[in-house]
């Protein structure tokens, strides 16, 4: 009867905690060296959204954004984490301002990198103008920090994915790490279906959603620098290796990034489905990609002709 018990998930140690399952605070505390996290504008300050009350919506003391500093393998870092379970991690006025402030601090100091733990559906509709402004400010702040020589690393693997303005900010980062569960895109599945029809994109077909926006696809087409297993431990190890790889950010970088993206749309722009893209990239059994385990997938991904990841 115990046919596959040995392959079944076992009881997990603290470091084996699922990133996808964890709260933003658990992610931060276990990503960093033990007890090293110092929060800025923590929940006890009650810096809450000024706008939600008028919609009769519940507020949260940290407005769903945790910012602070800490150590990762004794290296100082700034950390920002979105709580996807509060309003889908959406950007509002205070939520956005906390991240902007953190990024500006890193720019001014110039030597402490930033980790952004994305978990967001995009801008909060109830404070849309403030949210959209926040996205613009954050994108500018990411670029300014990078010009000042600071690495800004995005870690993506939460339930809300990384959508809307979050997808735009992720596109500005020095490097990204994503897990299979993580999704990166600008327009979400429901938005596409609403605007373009169910024939264009069936948001309820979750296999389609994941193979179009999910971590494996982003890894294969070079939309992310690293593919990680869904544990806080693996995110930590990967963040460390991405932090070690610091490249200067110059006009040349942007030219190369532009060229990389143009190449990508030329190569794959006419493909109707992600599986076609994988096949044309030389993946042997493209249709089997979604079912592969982490180990099987990383092995398969290593084998294929790797699109130019160097730019960003």
Q: Which residues are near another protein by CB under 8 A? A: 1-5, 7-9, 11-12, 18, 20-21, 159, 180-181, 204-208, 210, 214, 216, 290-291
User: Cα–Cα distance between 101 and 117 in angstroms, integer?
Assistant: 16
Q: In this complex, which beta carbon is closest to another protein, that of residue 63 or of residue 180?
A: 180
Whole-angstrom CA distances from 86 to 101, 119, 248 are 21, 10, 36
Is-contact 193 200, C-beta < 8 A? yes
Q: Among 157, 136, 41, 53, which Cα is nearest to 91's?
A: 136
Report, in Å, the least distance between residue 2 CB and another protein.
6
User: Cα–Cα distance between 13 and 248 in angstroms, integer?
Assistant: 38
Report, in Å, the least distance between residue 57 CB and another protein.
13
Is-contact 51 87, C-beta < 8 A? no
Q: Among 17, 36, 39, which Cα is nearest to 27's?
A: 17
Phi/psi for 77 (5° steps) reads: -140, 155
Q: In this complex, which beta carbon is closest to another protein, that of residue 27 or of residue 69?
A: 27
Q: In this complex, which beta carbon is closest to another protein, that of residue 58 or of residue 248?
A: 58
Q: Which residue has the tokens 């990508």?
A: 264
Q: In this complex, which beta carbon is closest to another protein, that of residue 134 or of residue 274?
A: 274
User: Cα–Cα distance between 299 and 293 in angstroms, integer?
Assistant: 10
- The helix/strand/coil state of 115 is strand
Report, in Å, the least distance between residue 108 CB and another protein.
39
Q: In this complex, which beta carbon is closest to another protein, that of residue 20 or of residue 268?
A: 20
Q: In this complex, which beta carbon is closest to another protein, that of residue 2 or of residue 35?
A: 2
Report, in Å, the least distance between residue 5 CB and another protein.
6
Report, in Å, the least distance between residue 85 CB and another protein.
11
Report, in Å, the least distance between residue 249 CB and another protein.
33
The number of angstroms, rounded, from the C-alpha of 283 to the middle of its chain's C-alpha atoms is 25
């Amino acid at each position: 009867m115990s046919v596959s018990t040995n392959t079944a998930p076992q009881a997990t140690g603290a470091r084996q905690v699922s990133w996808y399952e964890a709260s933003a605070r658990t992610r931060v505390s276990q990503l960093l060296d033990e007890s090293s996290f110092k929060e800025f504008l923590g929940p006890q300050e009650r810096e809450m959204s000024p706008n939600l009350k008028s919609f009769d919506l519940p507020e949260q003391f940290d407005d769903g954004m945790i910012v602070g500093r800490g150590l990762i393998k004794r290296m100082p870092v700034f950390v920002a984490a979105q709580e996807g379970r509060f309003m889908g991690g959406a950007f509002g006025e205070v939520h956005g301002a906390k991240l902007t402030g953190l990024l500006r601090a890193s720019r001014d100091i110039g030597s402490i990198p930033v980790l952004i733990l994305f978990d967001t559906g995009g801008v909060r509709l109830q404070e849309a103008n403030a949210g959209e402004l926040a996205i613009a400010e954050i994108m500018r702040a990411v670029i300014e920090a990078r010009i000042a020589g600071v690495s800004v690393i995005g870690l993506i693997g939460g339930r809300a994915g990384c959508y809307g303005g979050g997808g735009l900010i992720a596109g500005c980062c020095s490097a990204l790490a994503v897990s299979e569960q993580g999704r990166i895109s600008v327009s979400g599945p429901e938005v596409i279906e609403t605007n373009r029809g169910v024939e264009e994109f069936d948001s309820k077909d979750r296999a389609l959603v994941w193979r179009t926006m999910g971590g494996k696809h982003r890894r294969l087409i070079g939309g992310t620098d690293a593919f990680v297993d869904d544990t806080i431990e693996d995110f930590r190890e990967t963040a460390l290796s991405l932090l070690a790889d610091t490249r200067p950010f110059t006009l040349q970088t942007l030219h190369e990034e532009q060229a990389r993206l143009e190449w990508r749309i030329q190569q794959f722009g006419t493909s109707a489905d992600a599986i076609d893209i994988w096949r044309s990239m030389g993946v042997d059994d493209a249709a089997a990609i979604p079912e592969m385990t982490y180990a099987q997938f990383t092995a398969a991904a290593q084998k294929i002709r790797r699109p130019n990841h160097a730019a960003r």
